[in-house]
Chains A and B, each alone.
Chain A
Amino acid sequence: MADEIHSDIHSDAHDPSNVTNPEHAEHHIVSPLQYCLVFATLLVGTAITVWAAYIDLGWANPVIALFIACFKACIVILFFMHAKYQSRLIKMTIGSGFFLFIVLITMTMTDYISRAWGTW
């Protein structure tokens, strides 16, 4: 099946200079069982988000909501989007995108907060 074909592609026999797949990344197929577990976790996460929103926890409410949303996003990226099984190049690409997003928010917030510095 598909596994056999791909395992042979990773042989170095026709790639002596090791350029085509330098990390020897195996092509991994995520199993339906794993997808089911992720699916169930996402539904449970949604239920907890709604349930927690109706409890008064003060400043912790948005923190909990965002924490659960980030957790859900992580498992979607890792398993539904197969990031866990990709090469380091792809992992770095994904990481750099989120890093850049944090830079965007931090730099803009820094400017915003310091605009009226000392005048409040």
Chain B
Amino acid sequence: MHDAHEHVSLPQHRHHFETEEQQREAGSFGMWLFLLTEIMFFGGLFFSYLLYRNWYYPAFAAASNQLNVPMGAANTAILITSGFFMALGVWAAEMRKRQMLVWMLVLTTVFGCAFIGVKYFEYKEKYELHHIPGANFSVAMFVNPQNYPQYPDTYSEKPLAPDMAQKTQVFFFLYFAMTGMHALHMIIGIGLLFWLTWRAWRGDFSSGYVAPIENFGLYWHFVDIVWLFLFPLLYLINRHPLH
């Protein structure tokens, strides 16, 4: 035990903070402020989703049924697992376990990359089906669902009228904007993870200096949370045909 009057000073302690604890709280506070701007940023996207889903519900339901639920659900589990290892990484840093911290960061990165990998195959499928909004967009699947028995949820849908079928472009635009922005956050996070893993391996975070790991953890969990909403809102609109 330290004497109560001893001034505890760790090397990372900046002189303009009274105590380590104050510095730590200021850091968390700043990180949370940044995350609030992120809530507003994704909030705008979620809001436009809400409006257009109400306007063009049949198009949203039909387009949503083309998305791959097993892949989306697997990706949700992958991302939760990645977040779990990140949380354990924060614990390892708190406990000053250098080797465990490095391993947890590596596992976080591996699952993060797996998520991006699954996303690649999903995007590829959209590309092949001409479901990327723009000049090459095709409504074939939504005006003639009976031609697509390999997509059971689409196959059982009623055909959309051509004008409503065009509105599936709005869904796919939001799908790519929202999952794309989410994936961009993941890619930035994976880049930071490489840097943090190298620093953790060097021993930067195993002597009581946890702030970078903890604050990166906040960012990584925030990105998880965005996906927890994206998955049901994009993939599971109408998997229970009402007709």
Contacts and interface: CB of A to CB of B under 8 A. Distances in A.
A30 B90 CA distance: 9
B174 interface: no
B33 A93 contact: yes
Contact of A77 (B73, B76, B91, B225): B225
Contacts of A54: 239-240
Contacts of A38: 84, 87
B4 A13 contact: yes
B180 interface: no
Contact of A89 (B6, B25, B50): B25
Interface string A98-120: 10110011001100100000000
B31 to A, nearest CB: 9
Interface of chain A: mostly helix, strand, loop or mixed: helix
A76 B221 contact: yes
A36 to B, nearest CB: 8
Contact of A53 (B21, B35, B43, B239): B239
Contact of B19 (A15, A77, A98): A15
A16 to B, nearest CB: 12
- Residue from B28, B35, B232 with most neighbouring chain A CB atoms (10 Å): B232
A38 B228 CA distance: 14
Contacts, number: 168
Q: How large is the interface on B (under 10, 10 to 19, 20 to 34, 35 or more residues)?
A: 35 or more
Contacts of B176: none
B204 interface: no
Interface string B157-168: 000000000000
Contact of B91 (A19, A30, A46, A62): A30
A103 to B, nearest CB: 10
A12 B239 CA distance: 59
6 contacts: A8-B1, A14-B7, A49-B231, A53-B69, A98-B39, A108-B47
Given A8-B6, A39-B87, A81-B222, 9 more contacts: A32-B88, A35-B88, A39-B81, A39-B84, A76-B83, A89-B29, A93-B29, A101-B39, A105-B50
Interface of B: 1-2, 4-8, 18-22, 24-25, 28-29, 32-33, 35-36, 39-40, 43-44, 47, 50-51, 69, 73, 76-77, 80-81, 83-84, 86-88, 91, 94-96, 208, 214, 217-218, 221-222, 224-225, 228-229, 231-233, 236-242
